[in-house]
Amino acid sequence: MLLWVGLGNPEPGMARNRHNIGFMALDVIAARHRFSPWRSRFKGLIAEGDIGGEKILALKPMTYMNASGEAVQPAAAFYKLPPEAITTFHDELDLVPGKMRVKFDGGAAGHNGLRSMDRQLGSSDYWRVRLGIGHPGAKELVLPYVLGNFSKDDVAWLVPLLDAVADAAPLLAAGKAPDFMTRVALLTHPV
């Protein structure tokens, strides 16, 4: 079993925020791969499904971004999953909008959701699907930017990115991160 965690904030008014791209990614994956309906558990919403023969537990923490680990840790503990069985989908300021990278381990790079997971899990040895949202240009603009909604212009890259992540998800479930990244890149930027 794998635990896939989408990071975001639970307020309905924040649903279209850039910070919620992790929730958006899991929603598209769960719909595309016909996961069970979302239900409350582990201080979050969970849905279960199968992708490429691998059982996936999708989790959207309802604890707010800064306390995401408070939902992830009990889910991982309940299913006795090591950190390396966890993949988190999150917004990434350091990638241009529409770009995606997968990384194993590493620092939180100022991302409070990752920082909370590191603290609660006692480890940073998990996978990260970094979904590029771009940077507003100045440090003081970051908070209003990530808590701002995607613009109408963003839809041109956002929808294809989320669709590509869902379409390529079997490669991620199979542990083929480089192939997953290549497939997403080809789907979002066809030659």
**Mind listing the pLDDT tens digit of every residue in the chain (191 residues)?**
999 999 999 999 999 999 999 999 999 999 999 999 999 999 999 999 999 999 999 999 999 999 999 999 999 999 999 999 999 999 999 999 999 999 998 887 778 899 999 999 999 999 999 999 999 999 999 999 999 999 999 999 999 999 999 999 999 999 999 999 999 999 998 76
- Contact indicator for 72, 59 with CB cutoff of 8 Å: yes
DSSP-derived letter for residue 155 is H
Any idea where the domains of the chain sit in the sequence? Answer: 2-188
Torsion of CA 41, 162, 131, 81, to 10 degrees: 30
User: Is 33 among the residues known to form the active site?
Assistant: no
Q: Alpha-carbon distance 66 to 92, whole Å?
A: 15
Q: Alpha-carbon distance 138 to 62, whole Å?
A: 29
Structure tokens at 126: 């998990």
- The pLDDT tens digits of the residues spanning 101-154 come to 999 988 877 788 999 999 999 999 999 999 999 999 999 999 999 999 999 999
Q: How far is CA 124 from CA 22, 115, 162, in A?
A: 18, 9, 25
- Contact indicator for 190, 164 with CB cutoff of 8 Å: no
pTM of the model: 0.96
Strand ranges, E, within the chain: 2-6, 39-41, 44-51, 54-61, 86-92, 100-104, 127-132
In CATH terms, 2-188 corresponds, of 2.60.120.620, 3.30.505.10, 3.40.50.1470, 3.30.70.20, to 3.40.50.1470
> 19, 33, 90, 111: which one is catalytic?
19
Q: At residue 155, what is the residue type?
A: V
Structure tokens at 158: 């956002």
Distance in angstroms between the alpha carbons of the first and the last residue of the chain: 35
Q: Alpha-carbon distance 87 to 170, whole Å?
A: 13
